[in-house]
Amino acid sequence: MTKTQTRATRRRSDISRWVGWTALLVLGAGLAWGSALRAQEVKMIKTHGYSFYGDLSYPADYPHFNYVNPDAPKGGEISISTLGTFDSMNPYSRKGRGGALSTMMYESLLGEGTANEAAPADVYGEAYCLLCESLEYPETKDWVVFYMRKDARFSTGDPVTAHDIAFSHNLLLDQGLQSYADAVRKLIPKVEVIDDYTIKFYFTEGISRRSLIDQVGVVPAWSKKWFEESGARLDESRLETSPGSGPYMIEDVDVNRRIVYKRNPDYWGKDLPFNVGRNNFDRIRIEYFGDENSAFEAFKAGEYTYRNEGNSKQWATAYEFPKVKAGYVVKEEIADGSPPAPSGIVFNLGRDVLKDKRVREAVSLAFNFEWTNESLQYGLFKQRASFTQDTPLMAMGKPEGAELAFLQSLGDVVPPELINEDVRMPHTSRAARLRDRSNARKAGKLLDEAGWAVGSDGQRRNSDGTPLKLTFLLNSSGSATLSAVVQNFMSNLNNMGIDGVLEKVDSSQYTLRERDRDYDLVFDSYAAFLGTGTGLMQRYGSEAAEFSLFNPAGLASPLVDAIIDASLQAQTTEEESATLMALDRALRYEFIMIPVWYNDSYWTAYYDMYEHPEEQPAYGLGYIDWWWYNAEKHEALKAAGALR
């Protein structure tokens, strides 16, 4: 069985528990919510965790997550790298560039993993109490009450109370991202502090109950006292940070060079079952580099000790240096059970020229995956087609069964071709040469039909004489391989008569321009999904399309909106699966990006002093979260001269 088949089988067994948990990505939709249910006597649920369907894998008395080593030693340092610059330690502001892992000091009522990984990482869509000890809600999910732990403390020693949770919730509404604030106000009309350690959230009548309890449960807990005394704002760029309640706190910040986090020796929650076998390093150090080459050379020299490799050329050719051959550095592929991120060349649909799907189709034909994979990426990747790649929710062929019935129920918003034609698949190209002549001819016909004729100078212009020009925004600190891929893609565009301009800018400019959507084309990602949730509206919905940072194409599709709205009303996993398969089909039909490649494994390299469980969980790598340090191995590396 292949890795891909193994992942699909594993997902198939877990799909019934997936509820699309997307922390802090919420967008409401006015939906009918089953008046018949409200007419019945409402059942009350009090529990130690939450999933939409109520089926938790871990019982209330669980000792630890199944995948951790409960006896993992504490100590040592793990050091990693990142590219670019930073000028702020406040990642919640649109201004400035936040430092790496600058959210990790903060906890929430329902716990999360380190570095944006799930916790637990072996199940889908389940959340367990961290700052809370239990939560209570009616079966109708009209509200939720969290009962907080009275021993939770900020790093200052101050207690974490319900007042801090309410303050944090309101701070995000007043000073957070506009799309987030607008959505939450519609969904959550009231928050009530019942006492110092009890808080209640009320949910708007007549809307879907998806992603409400889990959303309020993962708001970061900030210190009300600190913000009021300091006068700091959430929407300002600053290096000073508010105290958190998490296991780590800041030790040192050297702007644009490094950030060091240290374990809080007085961390209140170290013995909770949620944390057993986790947070094992004394220090986490992040080194900043201006480009990938300097970062890799620094790893070889031992300036940092753990590396996630994303460059196929380096993975294929550069890990033959002496420390690898001597066994001092481990090169390891670890299976990735998470669905691959839908990455690709994203079209800015706000540009008039790209609103014509024929133009987008023509532009896509300039990308030659087969040549790119063989010539630049050593044949290490697979071509992505779907937003739910290699999962049971991946649309195939023409719609059938429950998916077909669902699409037919939506009426005229569904174009006939979505039902009558096979799902969109990426085009194929010849691997022998970059420019596939057959695809170039197809592209030419599409551009002719769209009104972009070729002039005597070989350039395409419309009837007004305006040349067809497209600008591709690229981060100059990114990988050399990605740069080569884009340059070859742009070469094919130019051969089609399109004036393709590649703009490489530094990290700060890239961040600003991406936020302002100042590009025609950009290499970016959307979120994969295996379950429904109101976060789908934030990513793919129309309401915030003009300004959402999570929708780089600016997709605004009545078809997609209708599918998401219906998915949020699903009451069974079967209904949910049908709607999400239809969503994958519709997103591929709307054609917001050129899908590129994916990898079903993590490429890791690290100095041989780190260890991890033999059986890794399906949905996380956990090198910061549940790996650990072996002091004897570290001393052996030093004795051998592999590390200073």
- Percent helix, strand, coil in the chain, to 5, is 30, 20, 50
Residues 104-128, mean pLDDT to the nearest whole number = 92
Letter string b/e over residues 501-532, b meaning 16 or more CB atoms within 10 A of that residue's CB: ebebbebeebbebbeebebbbbbbebbbbbbb
The percentage of residues in the chain with a pLDDT greater than 90, rounded to a whole number, is 81
pLDDT attached to residue 181: 84
Confidence of residue 547 (pLDDT cuts 50, 70, 90): confident
CA distance 613 to 622: 10
Residues 481-485, mean pLDDT to the nearest whole number = 94
Q: Which residues contact 456 (CB under 8 A, 6 or more apart)?
A: none
- Asked whether the domain spanning 343-598 has the same topology as the one spanning 42-70+83-247, the reply is no
**pLDDT tens digits, residue range 58-114?**
999 999 999 999 999 999 999 999 998 999 999 888 788 899 999 999 999 999 998
Residues 605-615, mean pLDDT to the nearest whole number = 97
CA distance 271 to 275: 6
Helix (H, G, I), strand (E, B) or coil at 623: coil
Confidence of residue 644 (pLDDT cuts 50, 70, 90): confident
Q: Where are the domains of the chain?
A: 42-70+83-247, 261-337+601-639, 343-598
Q: Report cis status (omega within 30 of 0) of the bond before 120.
A: yes
- C-beta separation of 311 from 291 below 8 A: no
pLDDT attached to residue 21: 28
Sheet-wide strand order for 77-83: 77-83, 283-289, 258-263, 248-254
Specify the higher pLDDT residue, 456 or 16.
Answer: 456
Q: Please give the structure tokens belonging to residue 507.
A: 């990290």
Question: Using the 8-state DSSP alphabet, how is residue 119 labeled?
Answer: S
Q: Which residues contact 114 (CB under 8 A, 6 or more apart)?
A: 101, 104, 278, 279, 622, 624, 625
- C-beta separation of 80 from 610 below 8 A: no
**pLDDT tens digits, residue range 175-211?**
987 777 888 898 999 999 999 999 999 999 999 898 8
Helices 573-590 and 401-409, interaxial angle, to 10°?
70
Enclosing H/E stretch for 484: helix 480-495
Residue located via tokens 């894998």? 57
pLDDT over 60 (residue 117): yes
CA distance 236 to 259: 20
Mean pLDDT computed over every residue of the chain? 91
Helix (H, G, I), strand (E, B) or coil at 577: helix
**pLDDT tens digits, residue range 135-163?**
999 999 999 999 999 999 999 999 999 99
pLDDT over 60 (residue 356): yes
CA distance 322 to 332: 16
Q: C-alpha distances in angstroms, 145 versus 57, 213, 599?
A: 22, 9, 41
Residue type at 455 in one-letter notation: G
Please state, as a whole number, how many other Cβ atoms lie within 10 Å of the Cβ of residue 614: 7
Question: Using the 8-state DSSP alphabet, how is residue 98 labeled?
Answer: B
- C-beta separation of 191 from 199 below 8 A: yes
pLDDT attached to residue 8: 36
Q: Which residues contact 146 (CB under 8 A, 6 or more apart)?
A: 109, 132, 134, 135, 162, 165, 198, 199, 200, 201, 217
Specify the higher pLDDT residue, 393 or 547.
Answer: 393
pLDDT over 60 (residue 529): yes
pTM over 0.85: no
Residue type at 48 in one-letter notation: H
Residues 331-337, mean pLDDT to the nearest whole number = 93
CATH 3.40.190.10 fits 261-337+601-639, yes or no: yes
**pLDDT tens digits, residue range 4-47?**
333 333 333 333 322 232 333 333 333 333 444 444 578 999 99
Residue located via tokens 């709607």? 579
- C-beta separation of 598 from 381 below 8 A: yes
- C-beta separation of 375 from 484 below 8 A: no
pLDDT attached to residue 144: 98
Confidence of residue 597 (pLDDT cuts 50, 70, 90): very high
Q: Which of 178, 179, 180, 267 is nearest to 216 (CA)?
A: 180
CA distance 95 to 511: 10
CA distance 100 to 96: 13
Question: Using the 8-state DSSP alphabet, how is residue 587 labeled?
Answer: H
pLDDT attached to residue 23: 32
**pLDDT tens digits, residue range 239-288?**
999 999 999 999 999 999 999 999 999 999 999 999 999 999 999 999 99
Q: Please give the structure tokens belonging to residue 330.
A: 């481990």
CATH topology of domain 42-70+83-247: D-Maltodextrin-Binding Protein; domain 2 (3.40.190)
* Residue 475, strand partner residues: 505
CATH topology of domain 343-598: Dipeptide-binding Protein; domain 3 (3.10.105)
pLDDT attached to residue 40: 52
Question: What is the chain's alpha carbon radius of gyration, rounded to the nearest angstrom?
Answer: 25
Beta-strand relationship, 190-195 and 198-202:
antiparallel
pLDDT attached to residue 93: 84
* Residue 347, strand partner residues: 521
Please state, as a whole number, how many other Cβ atoms lie within 10 Å of the Cβ of residue 48: 18
The size of the chain, in residues, is 644
The percentage of residues in the chain with a pLDDT greater than 70, rounded to a whole number, is 94
Phi then psi for residue 601, to 5 deg, are: -140, 155
Please state, as a whole number, how many other Cβ atoms lie within 10 Å of the Cβ of residue 619: 24
Residue type at 610 in one-letter notation: Y
CA distance 612 to 606: 12
pLDDT over 60 (residue 448): yes
